[in-house]
């Protein structure tokens, strides 16, 4: 698949990740369509891009590696340089595809990225190339804020200036001075270097990616063969392009994002310069604009086989970034590289001559009848022994599959058991089982304890019966020991007498008697020893019985302790169950209270939904109007383009009118596009809010269903059912707005894409071909600018006037409020005075009723009092009318202020 010494294009593999949870929660839709069986992707409905490889969201890591990356490794052993480059927006899956967060614990997982698979395959290929020795070295660097940092040197610091420099050799190309290179002998060592570098790499959290790479990383594997063939493989994980509006980056994160975008801009300029067919061989390529492009100089347009993995997001909220990535990848396909085999010709010739000498020496040995045949046989047997047996490999694969299946089933069983364990029914059942088990153990313990106590009691009774016998046996033993001692002494005397009698012949008869007596004594001594042994055995039995009783007493004591512990454990378990039950009862009461609150919340939800629906309806109408204006502007653009072909537009006046019409139409298209973008962002934001609210409603519904399933209380169950039905209805009503809104978003995106067509952007100024047309265009633009400035100034003055009016109204409102407050205070004082006067009047009248002598005076006072009351009533009516009038004026002022602020 790799061509020798020819110009070959950079290969591009497009990889699309699935929608992530955040995008799903925000209601994002897929804006990409993949053509089955073809390496082609369609954005929206019309815009199509074709690449060497296209991988949809369902593609596994292994397929990406086998299809796109593995062919490069075969060329690596032939002496060709190779580069794998991951490019794309932040959060699009570059680090995942490359394996930038790999650890040895993930060795057999299917999600392993490109770099670990490359390491594995390199060592597999190395074992196959037995004709030459292969040495491997690795280096790992990152470009952070335009500084090159060594990831294999733990002592390196980001705060200290970097000592790593880039040098360019005319023969060897780009070289990095001061970078650590480690020789590795096994895949495990190379993976260790990868893990060390990954742990030192700079990452950070943004609003779009919780583990965003804040630097460009390059993992380089250098393969040097014994025939002086040196090839390098660069595995590049670029940091993603960022928009501060989406990432919400601040401080250091913002500085990092600016540095990342600067490096990617330089890379984009290099790709554009190399991919522009009109500037082939003549255009300047800005490799030196950044350190990233200098390091990738051989990979882009140089001596290397290069694969770009363009990673994109399918979400319609990222469609602009996706379009930019697709355009860059399309330009990269036009870049031509010229890879060559990196070998020293003199070294190759020397190797060839040495090989011929060795062959001639072997032939000479064979001709002399040496041991060449035996060595060949041994070597052949060794090779056959080392070759893998297919049946063994199949058995190992089957064993690994079964092991993985068993582990999966065990995890499922553990998860199921853990889920069942947390339910209240399972807890109650376990408590009952524990109590039954402990009760059973307690009964068995009591039975065994009773048996052992009975056994000890019987043994004690036996011991009490054995005590007199023991005393008697002890006395017998003492007497027997005394008898044995006397008999032994007598025996010794007889032996001495016999020995002396042997010397005297006359005492033969006496000696015979003594011999018989000696035999009798020996028989008596033997008999007494037997009796003594029997008595000793009886004493040992007694001692054994005592030890057994002591042991049983110890066991009984231990069993009593165990019984106490078991009873205490049962008591503690019962207490825990009681506490748990009380807690669950409280939770039930709390759930009832929550359900009552939810009933009141439903009314508020309905009103909020109606308000939100009205706002969304208004925004939808505005977006539709903007879409219509953009459509009309695009139609006018096409009509103007057709009219340009007419002959009567050739003159000066015709040119002025034509340029003015075209320019105004272009301005209208740009303004309509800007409005469409704004409405598109509003619709995306509204859809995000709507999706979050639907998610919250579903969570509330799930939270409402869960207690209803566990707590079997009729009232609570009915409340939960009612609340769940209301929430479900609300969420369904909100969900109905999703399809039309998503369709409207897709329509607006398609219109914006049509307006921002790359070809149209390039051809926009092709309509002005003469100086006359340029002057006309400048005159029109100046006129439009003056008109816009005048309108803006007028609007600003009107805005200032409105602000002044609002301030005056606010001041008037403040004065009216103060006046109202003063009048309220006076009114309160007046009411208090009237109340006091009324009380005095009542007291006075009571006093007058008690006095029967002053009726006439009382009558006059009543008339006077009634007169005063009428006056007070008139005053009170006046105060009430004045208060009503002030309230009306206050409300009118508030209404005017509100209408002024809205306008």
Q: What whole-number distance in Å separates Cα of residue 241 and Cα of residue 770?
A: 39
Q: Encode pLDDT of 354-377 as tens digits.
A: 777 777 766 666 665 544 444 444
Alpha helices in 169-216 (DSSP H): 187-200
For residue 381 the two structure tokens come to: 């047997």
For residue 437 the two structure tokens come to: 């088990």
Predicted local distance difference test score (pLDDT) of residue 311: 92
State in Å, rounded, how far the first CA of the chain is from the last one.
69
Alpha carbons within 13 angstroms on the beta-carbon side of residue 717 total: 6
Which residue in 77, 531, 49 sits closest to 327, CA to CA? 49
In this predicted structure, the answer to whether residue 651 has a pLDDT above a threshold of 50 is: no
Alpha carbons within 13 angstroms on the beta-carbon side of residue 815 total: 6
**Cβ proximity of 173 and 298 under 8 Å:** yes
In this predicted structure, the answer to whether residue 762 has a pLDDT above a threshold of 90 is: no
In this predicted structure, the answer to whether residue 525 has a pLDDT above a threshold of 90 is: no
Q: Encode pLDDT of 660-685 as tens digits.
A: 777 777 777 777 777 777 777 777 77
Confidence band for 387, pLDDT divided at 50, 70 and 90: very low
**Cβ proximity of 26 and 41 under 8 Å:** no
> The domain 8-343 is classified under which CATH number: 3.10.450.50, 3.40.50.300, 3.40.850.10, 2.60.40.10?
3.40.850.10
Report the phi/psi class of residue 251: left, alpha or beta, with left for phi > 0 and alpha for psi in -120 to 50. Answer: left
Helix (H) or strand (E) holding 872: helix 855-902
CA angle in degrees (0–180, nearest 5) for 467-469-471: 70
Q: Encode pLDDT of 389-403 as tens digits.
A: 444 455 556 556 666
Q: How many residues does the chain have?
A: 903
**Cβ proximity of 286 and 270 under 8 Å:** yes
Q: Encode pLDDT of 255-303 as tens digits.
A: 777 878 788 888 888 888 887 766 665 667 888 888 888 888 888 888 8
Mean pLDDT over residues 248-256, rounded?
71
**Cβ proximity of 139 and 182 under 8 Å:** yes
Q: What whole-number distance in Å separates Cα of residue 342 and Cα of residue 338?
A: 12
Nearest 5°: phi and psi at 186? -145, 165
Question: Where along the chain do its domains lie?
Answer: 8-343, 345-386, 625-794, 819-902
* 193-197, 222-226, 627-631: the lowest-pLDDT one: 627-631
For residue 731 the two structure tokens come to: 């969420």
833-840: list long-range contacts, CB under 8 Å, 24+ apart. 834/872, 834/876, 837/872
DSSP 276-332: -GGGTTTS---GGGSHHHHHTTTTTTSSSEEEEEEEE--BGGGHHHHHHHHHHHHHH
Predicted local distance difference test score (pLDDT) of residue 310: 92
Predicted local distance difference test score (pLDDT) of residue 397: 63
Q: Who's near 139: CB < 8 A, 6+ residues apart?
A: 150, 152, 176, 179, 180, 181, 182, 219, 220, 222
C-alpha distance from residue 283 to each of 8, 280, 296, 338, 455 (Å) = 19, 6, 18, 18, 109
Q: Who's near 279: CB < 8 A, 6+ residues apart?
A: 273
Report the phi/psi class of residue 898: left, alpha or beta, with left for phi > 0 and alpha for psi in -120 to 50. Answer: alpha
Residue 341 CA, distance from chain mean position: 43
Predicted local distance difference test score (pLDDT) of residue 619: 72
**Cβ proximity of 25 and 695 under 8 Å:** yes
Report the phi/psi class of residue 666: left, alpha or beta, with left for phi > 0 and alpha for psi in -120 to 50. Answer: alpha
**Strand extents, DSSP E, 151-208:** 165-169, 173-177, 182-184, 203-204
For residue 447 the two structure tokens come to: 């039975």
Instruction: State which of 452-461, 564-573, 625-634 shows the largest mean pLDDT.
Output: 564-573
Predicted local distance difference test score (pLDDT) of residue 82: 92
Q: Which residues are annotated as a binding site?
A: 88-95
Predicted local distance difference test score (pLDDT) of residue 895: 64
Predicted local distance difference test score (pLDDT) of residue 393: 55
C-alpha distance from residue 868 to each of 393, 842, 877 (Å) = 119, 14, 14
In this predicted structure, the answer to whether residue 138 has a pLDDT above a threshold of 90 is: yes
**Cβ proximity of 545 and 463 under 8 Å:** yes
Task: List residues bridging with 150 in a β-sheet.
Answer: 141
DSSP 253-288: HHHHHHHHHHHHHHHHHHHHHHH-GGGTTTS---GG
In this predicted structure, the answer to whether residue 325 has a pLDDT above a threshold of 80 is: yes
Q: What whole-number distance in Å separates Cα of residue 110 and Cα of residue 693?
A: 36
DSSP 443-461: HHHHHHHHHHHHHHHHHHH
Q: What whole-number distance in Å separates Cα of residue 142 and Cα of residue 148?
A: 6
Predicted local distance difference test score (pLDDT) of residue 552: 77
C-alpha distance from residue 593 to each of 560, 715, 847 (Å) = 49, 12, 59
Confidence band for 337, pLDDT divided at 50, 70 and 90: confident
Sign of CA dihedral 566, 567, 568, 573: positive
Predicted local distance difference test score (pLDDT) of residue 54: 92
Predicted local distance difference test score (pLDDT) of residue 53: 92
In this predicted structure, the answer to whether residue 579 has a pLDDT above a threshold of 80 is: yes
Mean pLDDT over residues 186-208, rounded?
80
Neighbours of 575 (CB within 10 A): 10
Q: Which residues are annotated as a binding site for ATP?
A: 88-95
Q: pTM above the 0.85 mark?
A: no
Q: Encode pLDDT of 675-731 as tens digits.
A: 777 777 777 777 777 777 777 777 766 665 444 434 333 344 444 444 455 555 555
More confident residue, 1 or 839: 839
Predicted local distance difference test score (pLDDT) of residue 689: 77
Predicted local distance difference test score (pLDDT) of residue 106: 67
Q: What whole-number distance in Å separates Cα of residue 225 and Cα of residue 139?
A: 18
Nearest 5°: phi and psi at 733? -65, -40
Instruction: State which of 49-53, 390-394, 406-410 shows the largest mean pLDDT.
Output: 49-53
Predicted local distance difference test score (pLDDT) of residue 303: 83
C-alpha distance from residue 330 to each of 39, 106, 285, 335, 601 (Å) = 13, 34, 18, 10, 54
C-alpha distance from residue 425 to each of 253, 434, 574, 581 (Å) = 51, 14, 16, 11
In this predicted structure, the answer to whether residue 13 has a pLDDT above a threshold of 90 is: yes
More confident residue, 666 or 467: 666
Q: What whole-number distance in Å separates Cα of residue 873 and Cα of residue 891?
A: 27
In this predicted structure, the answer to whether residue 557 has a pLDDT above a threshold of 60 is: yes
More confident residue, 398 or 811: 811
* 209-223, 477-491, 752-766, 812-826: the lowest-pLDDT one: 752-766
Predicted local distance difference test score (pLDDT) of residue 457: 75
Helix (H) or strand (E) holding 744: helix 738-755
More confident residue, 743 or 147: 147
Q: Encode pLDDT of 342-353 as tens digits.
A: 776 566 667 677
Helix (H) or strand (E) holding 231: strand 230-237
Predicted local distance difference test score (pLDDT) of residue 379: 40
More confident residue, 726 or 78: 78
Predicted local distance difference test score (pLDDT) of residue 12: 93
Predicted local distance difference test score (pLDDT) of residue 630: 66
Helix (H) or strand (E) holding 849: helix 771-850
Predicted local distance difference test score (pLDDT) of residue 757: 60
Residue 210 CA, distance from chain mean position: 7
- Return mean pLDDT, the chain: 73
Task: List residues bridging with 11 in a β-sheet.
Answer: 307
């Amino acid at each position: 698949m790799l061509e020798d010494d020819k110009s070959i294009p950079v290969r591009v593999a497009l990889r699309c990740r699935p929608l992530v949870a955040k995008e799903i929660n925000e209601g994002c839709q897929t804006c990409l369509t993949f053509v089955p069986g073809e390496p082609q992707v369609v954005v929206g409905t019309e815009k199509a891009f074709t690449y060497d490889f296209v991988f949809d969201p369902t593609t596994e890591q292994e397929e990406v590696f086998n299809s796109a990356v593995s062919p490069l490794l075969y060329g690596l052993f032939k002496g060709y340089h190779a580069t794998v480059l991951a490019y794309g927006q932040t959060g699009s899956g570059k680090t995942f595809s490359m394996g930038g967060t790999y650890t040895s614990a993930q060795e057999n997982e299917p999600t392993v990225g490109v770099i670990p698979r490359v390491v594995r395959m390199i060592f597999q290929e190395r074992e196959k190339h037995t004709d030459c020795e292969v040495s491997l070295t690795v280096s790992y660097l990152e470009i952070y804020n335009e500084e090159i940092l060594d990831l294999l040197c733990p002592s390196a610091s980001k705060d200290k200036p970097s000592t790593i420099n880039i040098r360019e050799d005319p023969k060897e190309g780009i070289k990095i001075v001061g970078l650590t290179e480690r020789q590795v002998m096994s895949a495990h060592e190379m993976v260790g270097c990868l893990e060390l570098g990954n742990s030192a790499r700079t990452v950070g959290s943004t609003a779009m990616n919780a583990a965003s790479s804040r630097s460009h990383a390059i993992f380089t594997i250098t393969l040097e063969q014994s025939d002086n063939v040196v090839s390098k493989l660069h595995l590049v994980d670029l940091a993603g392009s960022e928009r501060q509006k989406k990432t919400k980056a601040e401080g250091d994160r913002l500085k990092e994002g600016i540095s990342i975008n600067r490096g990617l801009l330089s890379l984009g300029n290099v790709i554009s310069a190399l991919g522009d067919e009109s500037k082939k061989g003549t255009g300047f390529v800005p490799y030196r604009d950044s350190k990233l492009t200098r390091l990738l100089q051989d990979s882009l347009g140089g001596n290397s086989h290069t694969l770009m993995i363009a990673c994109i997001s399918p979400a319609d909220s990222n469609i602009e970034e996706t379009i930019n990535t697709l355009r860059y990848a399309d330009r990269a396909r036009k870049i031509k590289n010229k890879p060559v085999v990196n070998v020293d010709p003199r070294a190759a010739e020397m190797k060839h001559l040495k090989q011929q000498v060795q062959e001639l020496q072997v032939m000479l040995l064979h001709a002399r009848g040496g041991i060449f045949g035996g060595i060949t046989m041994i070597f052949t047997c060794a090779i056959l022994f080392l070759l893998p047996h297919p049946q063994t490999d199949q058995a190992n694969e089957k064993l690994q599959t079964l092991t993985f299946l068993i582990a999966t089933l065990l995890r499922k069983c553990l998860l199921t058991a853990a889920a069942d364990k947390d339910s209240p029914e399972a807890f109650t059942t376990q408590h009952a089982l524990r109590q039954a088990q402990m009760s059973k153990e307690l009964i068995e313990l009591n039975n065994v304890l009773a048996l052992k106590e009975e056994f000890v009691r019987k043994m004690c009774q036996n011991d009490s019966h054995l005590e007199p016998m023991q005393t008697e046996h002890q006395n017998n033993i003492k007497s027997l020991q005394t008898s044995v001692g006397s008999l032994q002494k007598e025996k010794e005397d007889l032996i001495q007498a016999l020995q002396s009698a042997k010397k005297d012949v006359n005492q033969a008869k006496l000696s015979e008697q003594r011999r018989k007596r000696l035999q009798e004594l020996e028989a008596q001594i033997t008999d007494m020893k037997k009796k003594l042994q029997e008595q000793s055995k009886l004493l040992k039995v007694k001692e054994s019985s005592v030890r057994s009783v002591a042991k049983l007493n110890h066991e009984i004591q231990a069993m009593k302790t165990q019984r106490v512990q078991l009873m205490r454990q049962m008591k503690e378990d019962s207490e825990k169950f009681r506490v748990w039950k009380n807690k669950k009862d409280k939770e039930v009461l709390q759930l009832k209270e929550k359900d009552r609150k939810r009933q009141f919340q439903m009314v508020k939800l309905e009103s909020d939904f109606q308000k939100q629906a009205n706002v969304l309806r208004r925004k939808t109408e505005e977006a539709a109007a903007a879409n219509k204006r953009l459509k009309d502007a695009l139609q006018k653009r096409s009509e103007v383009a057709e009219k340009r072909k007419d002959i009567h537009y050739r003159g000066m006046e015709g040119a002025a009118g034509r340029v003015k019409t075209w320019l105004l139409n272009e301005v209208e298209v740009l303004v309509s596009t800007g409005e469409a973008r704004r409405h598109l962002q509003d619709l995306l934001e509204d859809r995000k809010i709507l999706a979050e609210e639907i998610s919250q409603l579903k969570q509330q519904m799930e939270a409402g269903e869960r207690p209803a399933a566990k707590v079997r209380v009729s009232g609570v169950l009915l409340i939960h059912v009612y609340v769940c039905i209301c929430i479900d209805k609300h969420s369904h009503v909100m969900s109905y707005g999703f399809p039309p809104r998503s369709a409207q978003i897709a329509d607006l995106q398609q219109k914006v894409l049509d307006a921002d067509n790359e070809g149209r952007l390039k051809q926009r100024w092709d309509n002005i071909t003469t100086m006359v047309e340029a002057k006309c265009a400048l005159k029109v633009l100046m006129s439009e600018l003056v008109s816009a400035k005048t309108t803006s100034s007028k609007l600003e003055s009107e805005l200032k006037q409105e602000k002044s009016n609002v301030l005056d109204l606010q001041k008037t409102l403040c004065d009216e409020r103060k006046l109202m407050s003063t009048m309220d205070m006076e009114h309160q004082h007046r009411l208090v005075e009237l109340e006091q006067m009324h009380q005095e009047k009542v007291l006075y009248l009571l006093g007058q009723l008690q006095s029967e002598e002053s009726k006439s005076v009382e009558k006059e006072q009543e008339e006077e009092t009634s007169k005063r009351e009428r006056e007070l009533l008139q005053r009170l009516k006046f105060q009430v009318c004045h208060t009503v009038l002030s309230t009306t004026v206050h409300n009118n002022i508030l209404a005017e202020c509100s209408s002024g602020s809205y306008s």
